[in-house]
């Protein structure tokens, strides 16, 4: 009887199986496996595999799938446990599609189970077009949500349910138009305090299977070939064991844009020698030339091939696994739609409410729904999305929930960004209609903002003038004019702001009755928003980014210093702060307790607090813990989030919750990028928002505070 090859022995470790499998390959076969569209090695039973798949907020680009709110909306939930459930659903659908398509020998792009998600870059500047793919501006929030997403996506079984990818490593957040040649200059303090913590958490805590390098350079080294990032930090300092993939066609940039190499073989060698195992692109087609020129060794090629085969073995591609029975019927099923709907409800942020919300049906006869985003399906999808089997726009959701007894008028009002809707018409061709329906209505719901054609990835968006980034924070086109003319009528106006980033909406804040930030809320987002408007549920989202005032002058977009950026370093009062969001209820915090009278190095702090819903509405609320270490020059300018917990409270209900502030949170980052324990005391703030003056004005609430001396 012929001996079974060792690489098929399920009793061996994936690493040992991969070494054995690769040992049977020729040099040419090994080199061929380093491209994202890896050919079959039929004599060894290795099928063709395309590594490129996306799962940012649902399985993307491969047909029907559940479309959840965009990542920035998922971040606004401030709910890591629920995000983990969503990630598990996404990978369930990914497996269901993979299992079915494999039966049909369909191994095309976007049909594998290696998902290039999540995007854990820090949304440091609201002009960045891809910011809505991230979890916001805060390193701690991004870390907690990223860890939850990766664990949910990869599962905890014998085999990986899917392979997650932490991207884009590192110091990457625009400008999109310069990303192929841009060199991000960053201090050691900002690097380790802001740009690296989420990546470190995903590697060390979540055991993320892959890391994707960014397009840009850091300190003159292109990220996909950076010795500092890939070898010194990722492999040596963090002991990362998975594989590294380049961003798509990023390695070509080495010799065409960054100009650190002269030829494609040199670029391939630079990337491989520094630890980039998989090339999304075609530069690794030159790997054998690099070998022939003595730029790489066969051992270099073997190492990367072994890492890639280890991932495929961990995913069970050569075995029978517990995931093989996941049926296609689970894809896009009703239960998953309900979770997407719940996520949309949790993600919407109530920015302002003068008491008009929730709307009372018995008091309304007519509603005007106006604006370019009212019936715009694009705002439901965002980018990196799948195809939903059902979409509910904002207009459709309001029509459905309002019911037959309320007349809902509709006008587009204006184009999203052009000066007319119809090409042959005069400018402002929908303005008079909008004003007419507004006059006829008891209340106006004005649907404004952006969509993924105006903010997104370079080359992936129609916003060619800024390559996907925003030039400023203003409402585009005629939207501001529409807003001003409608509010001038004196009707109650509720603004639904749909965008993946912060907009400067000072005028709306001053002149409208209510405003909700809907983000890009997923396929059923219109239903969720309508249910919130009419009080079936209470809004409960919190801002994962700072909303700046229109008069604020942002630092230069290309400046990667954190000075005057995000809530941690902002030097003026924002319009709406990070962590802010209203509900229909009133959560009152009291009886704050900590488990120690002082803190020493390597000690964590346990906090308990009572939360009472003193209202007639059932609500969900997010308790947030911020800290600031006193008497050290290395603390952030303001304060920093270090714990949070979302809780549900029935009307009148009281709960006592506990939160942990780990010992690392009590340390600060010095100018060399080291985490140190210093200062003389730590202030701990507990509330439903951050402890800044603007939040206090908006909520009319004080946060609780305790100060603990630091003992050296």
Q: Whole-angstrom Cα distance, residue 176 to residue 105?
A: 37
CA 679 to chain centre: 33
Which among 265, 264, 248 is positioned nearest to 256, based on CA atoms? Answer: 264
Report the half-sphere exposure of 384 (CA within 13 A, side-chain side): 24
Please report which helix (H) or strand (E) contains residue 184, including its range: strand 183-184
Which among 462, 455, 538 is positioned nearest to 502, based on CA atoms? Answer: 455
Report the half-sphere exposure of 498 (CA within 13 A, side-chain side): 34
Tally of CB atoms within 10 A around 1? 3
Continuous H helices in 293-390: 298-314, 334-347, 378-381
β-sheet bridge partners, residue 407: 366
Task: Name the DSSP class of 582.
Answer: B
Tally of CB atoms within 10 A around 21? 24
| Helices first, then strands: H and E counts in the chain | 20, 23
Assign residue 698 a region: left if phi > 0, alpha if psi is -120 to 50, beta otherwise?
Answer: alpha
Q: Whole-angstrom Cα distance, residue 476 to residue 153?
A: 37
CA 572 to chain centre: 26
Cis before 210 (ω within 30): no
Integer-rounded Cα Rg, in Å, for the chain is 26
Which among 646, 649, 580 is positioned nearest to 346, based on CA atoms? Answer: 646
> CA dist 422 to 97, 428, 437, 448, Å?
41, 10, 19, 19
Q: Whole-angstrom Cα distance, residue 712 to residue 701?
A: 35
Q: Whole-angstrom Cα distance, residue 114 to residue 277?
A: 14
Cis before 118 (ω within 30): yes
Q: Whole-angstrom Cα distance, residue 304 to residue 290?
A: 15
Q: Whole-angstrom Cα distance, residue 197 to residue 592?
A: 29
Please report which helix (H) or strand (E) contains residue 479, including its range: helix 479-487
| Residue 69 neighbours by CB under 8 Å, 6+ apart | 57, 340, 343, 344, 347, 519, 520, 521, 522, 525
User: Residue 309 in contact with residue 10, Cβ under 8 Å?
Assistant: no
Instruction: Map residue 35 onto helix, strand or coil.
Output: strand
Q: Whole-angstrom Cα distance, residue 414 to residue 372?
A: 6
DSSP string of 205-224, one letter each residue: TS--SEEEEPSSEETTEEGG
Instruction: Map residue 443 onto helix, strand or coil.
Output: strand
Which among 440, 442, 472 is positioned nearest to 455, based on CA atoms? Answer: 472
* Catalytic machinery residues: 247, 455
β-sheet bridge partners, residue 409: 368
């Amino acid at each position: 009887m012929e001996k079974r090859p060792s690489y098929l022995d399920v009793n061996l470790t994936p690493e040992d199986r991969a070494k054995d499998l690769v040992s049977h390959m020729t040099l040419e076969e090994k080199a061929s496996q380093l491209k994202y569209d890896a050919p079959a090695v039929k004599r060894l039973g290795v099928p063709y595999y395309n590594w490129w798949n996306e799962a940012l907020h649902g399985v993307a680009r491969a047909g029907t799938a559940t479309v959840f709110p965009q990542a920035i909306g998922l971040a606004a939930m401030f709910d890591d446990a629920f995000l983990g459930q969503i990630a598990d659903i996404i990978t369930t659908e990914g497996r269901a599609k993979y299992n079915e398509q494999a039966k049909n020998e369909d191994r095309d792009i976007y049909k594998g189970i290696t998902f290039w998600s999540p995007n854990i870059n820090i949304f440091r500047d609201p002009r960045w077009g891809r910011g809505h793919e991230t979890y916001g501006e805060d390193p701690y929030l991004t870390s907690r949500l990223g860890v939850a997403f990766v664990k949910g996506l990869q599962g905890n079984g014998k085999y990986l349910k899917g392979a997650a990818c932490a991207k884009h490593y590192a110091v990457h957040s625009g400008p999109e138009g310069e990303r192929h040649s841009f060199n991000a200059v960053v201090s050691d303090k900002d690097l380790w305090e802001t740009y690296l913590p989420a990546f470190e958490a995903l590697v060390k805590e979540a055991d993320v299977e892959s890391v994707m390098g960014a397009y840009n350079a850091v300190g003159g080294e292109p990220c996909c070939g950076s010795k500092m990032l890939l070898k010194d930090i990722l492999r040596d300092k963090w002991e990362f064991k998975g594989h590294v993939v380049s961003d798509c066609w990023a390695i070509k940039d080495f010799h065409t844009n960054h100009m650190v190499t002269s030829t494609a073989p040199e670029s391939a060698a630079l990337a491989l020698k520094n630890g980039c195992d998989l090339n999304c692109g075609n530069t690794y087609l030159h790997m054998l030339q690099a070998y022939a020129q003595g730029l790489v060794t066969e051992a270099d090629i073997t190492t990367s091939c072994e890492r890639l085969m280890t991932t495929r073995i961990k995913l069970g591609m050569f075995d029978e696994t517990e995931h093989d029975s996941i049926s296609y019927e689970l894809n896009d099923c009703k239960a998953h739609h309900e979770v997407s709907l719940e996520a949309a409800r949790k993600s919407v942020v109530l920015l302002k409410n003068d008491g008009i919300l929730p709307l009372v049906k018995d008091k309304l006869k007519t509603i005007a729904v106006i604006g370019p985003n009212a019936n715009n399906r694009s705002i439901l999808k965002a980018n990196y999305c799948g195809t939903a089997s059902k979409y509910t726009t904002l207009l459709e959701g309001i029509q459905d929930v309002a019911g037959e007894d309320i007349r809902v008028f509709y006008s587009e009002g204006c184009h999203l960004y052009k000066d007319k809707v119809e090409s042959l018409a005069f400018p402002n061709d929908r303005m008079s209609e909008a004003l007419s329906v507004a006059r006829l209505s008891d209340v106006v719901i004005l649907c404004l903002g952006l969509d993924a054609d105006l903010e997104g990835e370079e080359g992936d968006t129609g916003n060619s003038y800024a390559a996907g980034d925003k030039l400023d924070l203003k409402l585009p086109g005629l939207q501001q004019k529409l807003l001003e003319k409608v509010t001038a009528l004196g009707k109650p106006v509720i603004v639904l702001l749909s965008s993946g980033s912060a907009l400067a909406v000072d005028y709306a804040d001053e002149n409208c009755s209510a405003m909700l930030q809907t983000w890009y809320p997923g396929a059923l987002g219109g239903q969720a928003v309508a249910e919130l408007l009419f009080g079936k549920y209470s809004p409960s989202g919190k801002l994962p980014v700072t909303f700046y005032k229109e008069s604020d002058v942002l630092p230069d977009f290309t400046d990667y210093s954190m000075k005057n950026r995000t809530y941690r370093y902002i030097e003026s009062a924002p319009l709406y702060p990070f962590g802010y969001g209203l509900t229909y209820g009133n959560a009152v915090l009291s009886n704050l307790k900590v488990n120690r009278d002082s803190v020493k190095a390597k000690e964590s702090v346990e906090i308990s607090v009572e939360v009472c819903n003193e209202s007639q509405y059932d609500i969900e609320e997010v308790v947030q813990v911020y800290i600031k270490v006193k008497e050290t020059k290395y603390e952030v300018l303001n304060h920093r989030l270090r714990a949070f917990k979302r809780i549900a409270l029935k009307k009148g209900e009281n709960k006592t919750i506990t939160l942990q502030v780990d010992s690392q949170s009590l340390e600060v980052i010095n100018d060399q990028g080291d985490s140190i324990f210093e200062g003389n005391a730590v202030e701990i703030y507990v509330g439903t928002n951050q402890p800044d003056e603007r939040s206090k004005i908006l909520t009319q609430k004080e946060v609780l505070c305790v100060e603990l001396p630091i003992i050296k």
